[in-house]
A = this chain, B = another copy of it.
């Protein structure tokens, strides 16, 4: 089977590709497990070297909207499963409205139209976000977000993701694609470099100190966060691709499970794993632009629908940090405590 991953050179996309290569098979929408014969990574950035060297991998490098408009891009009509992960991130979309509308709103619509035109009804997994939920003075979020809580996005990114969910739902209802939307939680710890997401510091505040580098922690200790490790996030995305229609249920997007914690508890876990010298590397200067976005996001979910699909949350941020250390030994300079 042929799989397409938009944003396939990004951290989640590349990790998903590696997981698919390791597994070797995928059972789309409850069907029979089929061998993964080809994975096309669509991204503006080149594919990571390990993936580029794999004979199953094809890198389609370039702007997503351009690739969607390119009649010669045959992989769109050959895809059995499409993971649509590409997006401009929250901070970028807030700073550059047109970028977000082009990269998230227009691209998601163009993707669905391209797949509809192909007439192949692929499984489409759309990565939405907890950012569809937004707290505001005029409309406070409930203390716990449930599967049927009304999203009231307070960022352009959240609005664009929520619109994407609606498009995926209707293109699915019409039989144009076989779509599932999953709302990703804040992913931490991401390896690599900071990005333009307002949530970027949730990884950087762990990753950079572990590497012996100073890092911003621009929000107060009591800031709540609903987070998921990269491993739990990939599990959720794959489950969305493989669940049968009966198990998946409604076309409404699925809230993935999360560990409810706070920035202060995350820092405390970092201190337990890597010692007080790690905490000394945190720069606690507040950043109003990031606080304004992050404070609107919910910190606590109840996810019975995801649990019924067999999905669970991380249970300890200490363990999440230790997983990161084990998976990224070259990026860790501080001594880790047993």
Contact B159 A167 (CB under 8 A): yes
**Which among A139, A153, A156, A159 has the greatest number of chain B C-beta atoms within 10 A?**
A159
| Cross-interface CB contact of A251 among B138, B250, B251, cutoff 8 Å | B138
| Residues of B close to A97: CB separation below 8 A | 174
Q: Given A249-B138, A251-B138, does the pair A163, B152 have CB atoms closer than 8 Å?
A: no
| Residues of B close to A249: CB separation below 8 A | 138-139
Contact B162 A166 (CB under 8 A): yes
Give the shortest distance, in Å, between A314 (CB) and chain B (any CB): 27
| Cross-interface CB contact of A150 among B109, B148, B156, B173, cutoff 8 Å | B148
| Cross-interface CB contact of A250 among B109, B139, B170, cutoff 8 Å | B139
| Residues of B close to A250: CB separation below 8 A | 136, 138-139, 152
**Which among A166, A167, A169, A249 has the greatest number of chain B C-beta atoms within 10 A?**
A166
Interface size class of A (residues with CB under 8 A): 20 to 34
Give the shortest distance, in Å, between A88 (CB) and chain B (any CB): 14
Contact string against B for A residues 131-160, beta-carbon threshold 8 Å, 1 for contact and 0 otherwise: 000001011000000001111111010010
Contact A166 B170 (CB under 8 A): no
Contact A154 B173 (CB under 8 A): yes
Q: Given A163-B163, A167-B159, does the pair A252, B154 have CB atoms closer than 8 Å?
A: no
Contact B150 A166 (CB under 8 A): no
Contact A150 B153 (CB under 8 A): no
Q: Given A148-B150, A163-B167, A252-B150, does the pair A156, B174 have CB atoms closer than 8 Å?
A: yes
